[in-house]
Structure 1
Amino acid sequence: MTAVETKLFLRDPGGPILVFGLPLGLLLVFGLMPGIREPSAEFGGKSALDTFIAPMSITLVLAMMALTTLPNTIATYREKGVLRRLAASPVSPTGVLTAQLVVNLVAAFAVVLLVFGIGMLALGMSGPENLPGFLLSLVLGTAALFSTGLVVAALASTGRTAAGVGSVLFFPMLALGGVWVPKEKLPAFLQGVADVLPLGATLNSLRAAWAGNDPRLLQLIALGVCLAVCGSLAARFFRWS
């Protein structure tokens, strides 16, 4: 099933181009701007490339895959009756769900590796200074974002509905999570919001670890709670038809 889903994912060139192109394009466009690789007092003596642009590129691909690509695919399968037909065959619908998760996670982490490779080789980007904190934030953030996307996939009856709900979640979290404007420039009461939203908590914990600091406990707790709550809701309300 995973091999089949991988072929279907690659057969539509629009999906891979968007998933791979947008984060890498942002990294290159912003990374080549004058002064972006120079130490800045605004970013604690680190460069904006290391402590904002690179974590933002990684968070964006995770959020896109989790909140739009995965729910849209599963809801489209439900809409077209694919899941219902598979339920009566030797192939379990659970296998389709697992295969979809594997394909999307592999694609997302392939982009993460490309961000590291291109950033370090072409732009002179530094790696995360707090590697354990970075890996913990990456795993928790990925799990929280994908569990949120699974709730959308569990409830949406059509692919169009899933895409709409995913966008409603995705774009406000960009604004409130510290993507469009760094968290430090948000009003004080919104900085707390940025640390508890799944996208914002992922981005800001990655930023902290990249700069050599420990992710805030609030961010990690928020990601863990999101994973537990959304994972339970997705399992409880998931419908195969």
Structure 2
Amino acid sequence: MTMLSRLTAVEAKLFLRDPAAPVTVLGIPVALLLVFGLMPGMNQPSDEFGGQVPLSAFIAPMSVAILLGMLALTLFPAVMAAHREKGVLRRLSASPVPPSRLLVAQLLVNLAAALVVVLVIVAGGHLALGVALPANAGGFVLVLVLGTLALFGVGLLIAALAPTARTAGGVGSAVFFPMLALGGVWVPKEDLPPVLQGLADVLPLGATLNALRETWTGGSPQPLQLAALAVFALVCAVVAARVFRWS
């Protein structure tokens, strides 16, 4: 077993031992899908969503976007900052194991958790609630990858700058919740004021959600959404790499 696989296994055990993390990551997105899925009319075409079914056109993509946002912006930065605060990263820097291996292990654990919950939302929602599968599967996967890179890029930047887990959690929440409001999560993009509709397609969480909505119903993501996700992923990763502190 390689050192990276050992570190990943340890980080996975720590992730699963914390009851709040699995419950939050799995419980909130699935609960959203389940609660809305059991409401009358949510699986019927709606004029509000251009004749599309609300459960597939909005609720399922929203559940996926919220999942990625929680993992990338709150849980991941807090864990990395906690490792720095406890001196784990500093001790690794004095060992033959590069601290960057721990960062990669953490990313792998979070990405694996995201993949499992996305599969639960897509496949489980389809089997249990009749949620339509993403009609544009290729576009859906592209948006999922870009959205994950963009959101974890922002999370990595938070982790790079936050000195403690408490600070990382606070900063992550301060970034996450405004993105919910301005990205078309709390209120669909179509119901936002015109000046905010463009912003909803630029912010990482909003761009992810709205591009997922497009692909889930058979459309194509807008170039602005894809470009915004690519720029956030690249810029945040580059800045984080320059300012990340291991101790």
TM > 0.5: yes
2:4 is matched with which residue?
A: none
SS of residue paired to 2:31: helix
Residue in 2 aligned with 1:196?
A: 202
Q: Tell me the distance in 1 between the aligned counterparts of 2:223 and 2:238.
A: 22
Aligned equivalents of 2:114, 2:150: Cα separation in 1: 14
Report the counterpart of residue 185 of structure 1 in structure 2.
Answer: 191
* 1:100-115 paired onto structure 2 within 5 Å: 100-115=106-121
Give the partner amino acid of 1:112: V
**How many angstroms does 1:117 deviate by?**
2.1
Q: Partners in 2 of 1:116 and 1:135 — Cα distance?
A: 12
Find 1:146's aligned residue among 152, 177, 190.
152
Measured in 2, the distance between the counterparts of 1:139 and 1:234 equals 19
Matches of 1:105 and 1:2, distance apart in 2: 12
Paired amino acid for 1:207: R
1:199 CA displacement: 0.1
The residue number in structure 1 matching 2:28 is 22
Q: Which residue number corresponds to residue 228 of structure 1?
A: 234
Aligned residues: 241
In the other structure, the counterpart of 1:208 is: 214
2:74 paired residue among 64, 68, 90: 68
Tell me how far apart the structure 1 counterparts of residues 82 and 90 of structure 2 sit (CA, whole Å).
12
- Cα deviations by residue, 1:71-106 (Å, 9 ceiling, x for unpaired): 000001111111001111122211100000000000
**Equivalent residue, structure 1, for 2:3:** none
Distance 1:171 1:233 in 2: 23
Identity, % of aligned pairs? 64
**Greater displacement, 86-95 / 212-221:** 86-95
Counterpart amino acid of residue 82 in structure 1: V
Map of 1:38 onto structure 2: 44
Quote the residue 1:57 is aligned against: 63
Q: 2:101 aligns with which of 78, 95, 98?
A: 95
Out of 120, 132, 137, the position equivalent to 2:143 is 137
Instruction: Give the C-alpha shift of residue 26 in structure 1.
Output: 0.4
Structure 2 residue matching 1:46: 3-state secondary structure: coil
Runs of 4+ displaced beyond 6 Å:
none
Question: Amino acid of the residue matched to residue 52 of structure 1?
Answer: F
Distance 2:101 2:15 in 1: 16
- State the 1:228 CA deviation: 1.0
- Whole-angstrom distance in 2 between the partners of 1:203 and 1:237: 29
C-alpha distance after superposition, 1:160-210 (max 9, x if no partner): 000000000000000000000000000000000000000000000000111
Q: How far is the alpha carbon of 1:133 from its aligned partner?
A: 1.1
Give the RMSD, CA atoms, in angstroms: 0.6
The partner residue of 2:182 within 153, 165, 176 is 176
Residue 237 of structure 2 aligns with an amino acid whose one-letter code is G
Separation of aligned partners in 1, 2:99 and 2:187: 41
1:119-174 Cα distance to aligned partner (Å, 9 max, x none)? 11110111111111111111100000000000000000000000000000000000
Q: Which has the larger displacement, 84-93 or 197-206?
A: 84-93
Give 5+ residue unaligned stretches, structure 1.
none
- Structure 2 CA distance for aligned equivalents of residues 99 and 3 of structure 1: 8
Aligned to 1:218: 224
User: Aligned letter for 1:147?
Assistant: G
